[in-house]
Amino acid sequence: METILVTGGAGFIGANFVLKARQQKWAETINLDKLTYAGNLQTLAELGGDPDYHFVQGDIGNAELVTYLLKKYQPQAIVNFAAESHVDRSIASPDEFIQTNVVGTFQLLEASRFYWQSLSPQKREEFRFLHVSTDEVYGSLDSADPAFTEQTPYAPNSPYAASKAAADHLVRAYHHTYGLPTLTTNCSNNYGPYQFPEKLIPLTILNALEGKPLPIYGDGQNVRDWLYVEDHCDAIYLVLLQGQVGQTYNIGGESERANLEVVETICEIVDRLAPKPNFRHSSLITFIKDRPGHDRRYAINCHKLKQELGWQPKENFQTGLQKTVEWYLSHSEWVDRVRTGAYKDWIEQNYSGR
């Protein structure tokens, strides 16, 4: 592909994808991002002199802007990362999630449809709209349940999950109704470099380094499948190139871990990489009141992706987590820039009193 429009490319997963797209010379890349609290252009600073990278600040809900960008750059694909993505924030302020994840996706689909319909027959055949979603749309599993497959019925349990489920349904409908050549990926929990430190892994790493309490919801036995972000980006690009139009592909790290085990593993790594005399970072673990509607377990079956497209994750949980801790240890300047007063206010609001 010559040109890709990436939406939400200044966020965690989107920025990692944009960096890899340019490092690997996948395509000329246009990055459309609203720059909310989780978007950070510092992550993409190394692309400042790249003539085949273009950043545009704007909202996917701005159909006029999206239409202009599509007409100007004539991309062969759109990869939609743009989303509000933090469950706790969706509980506190669900309206933002509906506007971005549902209404924004609708506006992006509409602009994409009109653009696609204007293309020549050959270019219409080549065009792809890839929508990046989450395993949370499938709901919650019990400990003995089989992992989510692409056929698992949707059963979202949080405003965030419901907004992503709605977006997924819109993408499916635009393929079946209008013929728009869509692809959808549903991933498990990502971790790795450049993740905004409101999420479990970076929050734990940074609190451990600073000697602060390591908050764990409930009994710490909520289970997630953990996917290293670079493995996710490789999978997305593979689906973009080789995925069957109209299909959904689950992407997982095949690394189910309880939250308590995740935090304990981080503590062990920090003990090795940043030791303190006569101190174990696991002593900072603090159990707090669970969040409302906290899903017990997610697990992804990614057999379809592996069988049909030959994808394999390069990192297991131990190697990926080691790389992640090392990255945060060596990028304190990036961390300081994203942890603004607004971030500190949110951490106080979400965790105090629990």
**Domains of the chain, residue spans:** 3-193+227-254+295-314
Marked catalytic residue, from 28, 59, 84, 136 = 136
Mean pLDDT, to the nearest integer, of 261-272?
98
Mean pLDDT, to the nearest integer, of 257-270?
98
Q: 3-193+227-254+295-314 falls under which CATH superfamily? A: NAD(P)-binding Rossmann-like Domain (3.40.50.720)
Task: Note if 308 is an active site residue.
Answer: no
Give residue 233's pLDDT band: very low, low, confident or very high (50, 70, 90).
very high
Using the predicted structure, report yes or no on whether residue 351 has a pLDDT greater than 70: no
Share of the chain above pLDDT 90, in %: 88
Nearest CA to 336 among 201, 209, 216?
209
Which residues neighbour 101 within 8 Å (Cβ) at sequence distance 6 or greater? 83, 84, 160, 163, 164, 166, 167
Tens of pLDDT, residues 34-58:
998 888 899 999 999 999 999 999 9
Report the pLDDT value the prediction gives residue 243, as an integer from 0 to 100. 98
Marked catalytic residue, from 115, 160, 194, 217 = 160
Task: Note if 135 is an active site residue.
Answer: yes
Report the pLDDT value the prediction gives residue 349, as an integer from 0 to 100. 72
Chain centroid to CA 296: 20
Q: How far is CA 48 from CA 19, 44, 51, 89, 149, in A?
A: 11, 7, 8, 32, 40
pTM score, whole prediction: 0.94
**Residues forming a β-bridge with 224:** 257
Distance CA 111, CA 287 (A): 46
Q: How far is CA 269 from CA 254, 261, 276, in A?
A: 21, 12, 12
Task: Note if 160 is an active site residue.
Answer: yes
Distance CA 208, CA 59 (A): 35
Average pLDDT of the residues of the chain: 95
Mean pLDDT, to the nearest integer, of 175-192?
98
Marked catalytic residue, from 135, 254, 256, 295 = 135
Give residue 348's pLDDT band: very low, low, confident or very high (50, 70, 90).
confident
Report the pLDDT value the prediction gives residue 212, as an integer from 0 to 100. 96
Give residue 291's pLDDT band: very low, low, confident or very high (50, 70, 90).
confident
Mean pLDDT, to the nearest integer, of 92-110?
96
